[in-house]
């Protein structure tokens, strides 16, 4: 079975991109990252990709602060299809994906979210968990649909909420779980898509 080719979209530091890259480097994930794209020109994820010799590009969102216009999605889809990407991995990408990109990669766009979905969708899920007083949260890898964190679940990992946790400490432990879970989920999909 050949390596699965990954396209990555991110808006921030790219720690989940880094986790995928590290899992590949350690030989734990039979994959190749073929393109990294960001809607934020100064995003650290682009610097990480450049340091690893991976092609990277900035997405032109036509001046919109949070909307992901169809023209931009079509452009991303064309770029990713041109790289031969099998799977699109969102890594802290802060815009909602819609039809042009989902149609180009049906059931092949995934996201990692810092909660046990369907609980606590949206922003700052770790703070939502603290505010709700739950004793357990975690992270979820799921297929992306047109909603916010509503697609079918692929894998989850639980993280306990400790009595002494604040937003920072809980977020850190959730991120550690994310960095374990995302490569596992991609490996599972490699078998589903290429097997």
As annotated, the active-site residues are 113
Strand ranges (DSSP E) for the chain?
Answer: 4-10, 31-38, 56-58, 87-90, 109-113, 136-143, 153-160
Q: Which phi and psi (to 5°) does residue 58 adopt?
A: -95, 135
Task: Report yes or no: 145 and 75 within 8 Å, Cβ to Cβ.
Answer: no
Secondary structure element (H or E) that encloses residue 73, with its range: helix 70-83
Residues 172, 49: Cα–Cα separation, whole Å = 22
Task: Report yes or no: 22 and 53 within 8 Å, Cβ to Cβ.
Answer: no
Task: Report yes or no: 8 and 15 within 8 Å, Cβ to Cβ.
Answer: no
CA 164 centroid distance within chain: 28
């Amino acid at each position: 079975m050949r390596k699965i080719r990954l396209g990555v979209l991110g808006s921030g530091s790219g720690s989940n991109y880094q986790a995928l890259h590290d899992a590949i480097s350690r030989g734990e994930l039979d994959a190749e990252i073929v393109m990294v794209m960001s809607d934020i020109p100064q995003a650290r994820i682009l610097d990480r990709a450049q340091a690893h010799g991976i092609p990277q590009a900035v997405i032109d969102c036509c001046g919109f602060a949070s909307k992901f216009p169809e023209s931009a999605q079509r452009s991303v889809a064309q770029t990713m299809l041109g790289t031969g990407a099998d799977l699109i991995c969102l890594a802290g990408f802060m815009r909602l994906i819609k039809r042009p990109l989902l149609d180009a990669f049906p059931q092949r766009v995934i996201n990692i979210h810092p909660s046990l979905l369907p609980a606590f969708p949206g922003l700052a899920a770790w703070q939502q968990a603290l505010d709700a007083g739950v004793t357990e949260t975690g992270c979820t890898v799921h297929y992306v649909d047109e909603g916010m964190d509503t697609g079918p679940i692929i894998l989850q990992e639980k993280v306990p909420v400790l009595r002494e946790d604040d937003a920072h400490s809980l977020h850190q432990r959730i991120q550690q779980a994310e960095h374990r879970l995302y490569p596992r989920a991609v490996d599972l999909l490699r078998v589903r898509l290429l097997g």
